[in-house]
């Protein structure tokens, strides 16, 4: 090992290692947000396997193009409103740095350290610098593809400003250099952490801490955006990004994380000679960071890898007395399955972050948004000389008209359905219920299982996590706004009917088409198939809410139904849907699982 660590960079070893890394390593990604988790183990052979793989790639490319087109139109609108290309590029850089800091740390750690093949590399006479650079080039390539989704904002602004072709090339090159630099800076920060931090050596603990940090930062970004989008919206956000890169402590922080950003102005706004000089300076700063990273890797990379070997072990303890009785008590089939599923989600970091923390993110986000919006509204009302209590009384006088013969209540019910459709993005928590068990499912398949209780347990946990917190928010809002009790109870019933039917339909589809052949948990919740499943939740939500929505729109939009009839028909449809879907889940879906073989 000392000989391997002392070797310098070897181009021949690098080419071989890069081919190995690209071919596919088994990464132990414990958050599901990294790049790891190779899906090759579950690829099907033959024509159908190739068609399925090709369809996933086409669908992912289509989604990428849709998001890129939306960002391009956003940049074009910025340009039409007078934003300069430099300010649009500054917005891209700030978003790039923020997203990299938010999610890039664990991606880098996963690619460089949490790899099953590392124990094999340790036995070979390979250079630490060469191994790390092979992994890093793969990481940079994958990260750059994801980072490019932000670039269309700047390109759209260039089109709106009628920029010359040279300006387009300069912006693309500048953004690519910024993306490479910020990822290099991230790894420079990552290598010493993995060498000296005890927290980082415990993969499970590190994953949970990182997942919690992501949730907190995501909430901060979401709440902060509510202030940023006040007034001129994106224009003010782009102007603020330009000011952030102009000077002061924020510019120093961004400059350390992304040195090319300090030279962005002459590249974007200067003449041809200035742009060329700026690009050369950007390239030089990237080369400096690459040299620093090579020196750090030569010293600490393999030492950090060795520190991970055998780390994270915990001492056992005796369970006795009341705790032993509690653990071995007799329970029913539903309680046993519910306890098992919940403990799996809590103990496995990737499931905890994806199915528990992510489910709680949406309610917490809306709570924060409501709090911020209320605070801003009160401040603006006070500045305008209006008494906030008077505004609340006016709102209550309007909501007091929400009776069952009022079209206003019908429109509120339509809004609840639209909100439920928005929550369809989290329906994959139900869809993945059976798939979470993986190969363990076939162990349970050989036991005298109550498959109905098994499926109910897969419904209860995600339903409580995603619905109960949001229900509290809705009830508080109805009480504060003074909605009549009967009308408020009706809106709550519509919300519960929408979420329950969505969850039951998603759970049933996941039971009929489970994904049980995965090697590590990250394969289940990330990659092309998992991303498509998230967007497929919209289709499932549309199917579950189509008929009640048509009943409500028959009154509010087409005036073919009276308000009481439309409201009663929508609720009755949800009741019928939930009853039918419950029979489907507990009957055909349960029987299908009882006959499922490898």
Query: What is the average per-residue pLDDT within 102-116?
Result: 71
CB 339 within 8 A of CB 331: yes
Query: What are the pLDDT digits (tens) for 487-496?
Result: 999 999 999 9
Query: What is the average per-residue pLDDT within 395-422?
Result: 87
Query: What are the pLDDT digits (tens) for 425-436?
Result: 778 889 999 999
CB 188 within 8 A of CB 291: no
d(CA 32, CA 36): 8
Residue found by looking up tokens 């056992």 in the block? 316
Of the candidates 493, 495, 501, the residue with the CA atom closest to the CA atom of residue 544: 501
Residue found by looking up tokens 């250099």 in the block? 177
Beta carbons within 8 Å of 503's beta carbon, 6+ residues apart? 427, 430, 459, 462, 463
Kindly give the residue spans of alpha helices, DSSP state H, lying in 309-406.
321-327, 333-347, 349-351, 358-383, 388-399
d(CA 278, CA 280): 5
* The pLDDT value given to residue 428: 84
CB 76 within 8 A of CB 157: yes
DSSP class of 9: -
Torsion from C-alpha of 235, 240, 246, 249, nearest 10 degrees: -170
Q: How many whole angstroms from its chain centre is CA 403?
A: 39
Rank 71-75, 110-114, 219-223, 376-380 by mean pLDDT and report only the highest. Answer: 71-75
Query: What are the pLDDT digits (tens) for 534-550?
Result: 777 778 888 889 999 99
DSSP for 439-477 reads THHHHHHTS---HHHHHHHHHHHHHHHHHHHHHHHHHHH
Query: What are the pLDDT digits (tens) for 228-287?
Result: 545 455 677 777 778 778 777 888 888 888 999 989 999 998 888 999 999 999 999 999
Kindly give the residue spans of alpha helices, DSSP state H, lying in 81-164.
85-112, 118-121, 128-147, 152-160
- Opening angle at CA 196, ends 192 and 201, nearest 5: 105
CB 334 within 8 A of CB 442: no
Beta carbons within 8 Å of 282's beta carbon, 6+ residues apart? 174, 177, 178, 181, 259, 260, 263, 267
- Opening angle at CA 133, ends 127 and 138, nearest 5: 135
Q: At what angle do helices 248-257 and 85-112 cross, to 10 degrees?
A: 50
- Residue 227 confidence (pLDDT) above 60: no
* The pLDDT value given to residue 115: 64
**Phi and psi torsions of 593, nearest 5°:** -65, -35
- Residue 383 confidence (pLDDT) above 80: no
Residue found by looking up tokens 């040195």 in the block? 259
């Amino acid at each position: 090992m000392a000989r391997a660590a002392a070797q310098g960079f070897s181009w021949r070893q690098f080419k071989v290692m890069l081919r190995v890394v690209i071919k596919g390593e088994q990464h132990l990604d414990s958050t599901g947000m990294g790049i790891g988790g190779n899906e090759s183990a579950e690829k099907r052979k033959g024509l159908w396997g190739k068609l399925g793989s090709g369809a996933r790639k086409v669908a992912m490319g289509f989604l990428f193009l849709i998001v890129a087109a939306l960002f391009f139109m956003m940049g074009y609108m910025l340009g039409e409103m007078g934003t300069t290309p430099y300010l649009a590029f500054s917005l891209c850089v700030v978003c790039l740095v923020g997203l990299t800091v938010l999610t890039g740390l664990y991606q880098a750690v996963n690619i460089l350290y949490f790899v099953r093949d590392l124990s094999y590399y340790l036995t070979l006479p390979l250079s630490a610098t060469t191994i790390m650079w092979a992994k890093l080039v793969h990481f940079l390539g994958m990260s750059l593809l994801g980072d490019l989704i932000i670039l269309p904002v700047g390109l759209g602004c260039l089109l709106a400003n009628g920029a010359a072709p040279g300006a387009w090339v300069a912006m693309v090159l500048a953004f690519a250099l910024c993306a490479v630099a910020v990822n290099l800076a991230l790894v420079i920060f990552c290598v010493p952490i993995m060498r000296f931090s005890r927290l980082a050596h415990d993969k499970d603990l590190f994953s949970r801490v990182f997942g919690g940090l992501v949730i907190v930062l995501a909430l901060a970004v979401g709440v902060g955006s509510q202030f940023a989008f006040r007034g001129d919206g994106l224009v003010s956000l782009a102007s603020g990004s330009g000011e952030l890169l102009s000077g002061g402590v924020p510019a120093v922080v961004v400059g350390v994380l992304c040195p090319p950003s300090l030279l962005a102005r002459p590249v974007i706004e200067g003449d041809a000679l200035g742009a060329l000089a700026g690009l050369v300076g950007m390239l030089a700063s990237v080369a400096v960071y690459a040299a620093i990273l090579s020196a750090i890797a030569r010293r600490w990379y393999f030492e950090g890898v060795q520190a991970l070997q055998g780390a994270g072990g915990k001492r056992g303890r005796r369970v006795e007395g009341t705790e032993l009785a509690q653990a071995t008590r007799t329970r029913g089939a539903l309680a046993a399955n519910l306890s098992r599923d919940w403990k799996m989600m809590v103990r496995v970091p990737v499931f905890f972050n994806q199915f528990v923390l992510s489910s709680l993110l949406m309610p917490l986000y809306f709570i924060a948004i409501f709090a911020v919006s209320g605070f801003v509204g009160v401040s603006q009302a006070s500045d305008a000389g209006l008494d906030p209590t008077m505004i609340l009384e006016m709102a209550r006088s309007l909501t007091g008209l929400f009776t069952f013969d009022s079209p206003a209540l019908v429109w509120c019910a339509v809004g609840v359905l639209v909100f439920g459709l928005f929550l369809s993005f989290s329906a994959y928590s139900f869809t993945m219920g059976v798939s979470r068990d993986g190969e363990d499912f076939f162990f349970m398949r050989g036991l005298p299982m109550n498959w109905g209780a098994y499926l109910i347990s897969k419904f209860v946990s995600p339903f409580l996590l995603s619905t109960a917190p949001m229900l509290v928010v809705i009830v508080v809002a109805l009480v504060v706004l003074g909605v009549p009790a009967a009308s408020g109870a009706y809106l709550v019933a519509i919300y519960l009917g929408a979420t329950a039917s969505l969850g039951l339909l998603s759970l049933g589809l996941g039971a009929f088409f489970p994904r049980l052949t995965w090697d590590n948990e990250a394969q289940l919740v990330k990659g092309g198939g998992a991303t498509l499943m998230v967007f497929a939740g919209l289709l499932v939500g549309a199917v579950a809410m189509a008929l009640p929505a048509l009943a409500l729109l028959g009154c509010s939009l087409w005036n073919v139904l009276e308000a009481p009839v439309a409201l009663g028909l929508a609720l009755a449809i949800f009741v019928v849907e939930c009853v039918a879907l419950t029979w489907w889940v507990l009957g055909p879906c349960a029987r299908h699982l009882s006959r499922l073989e490898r």
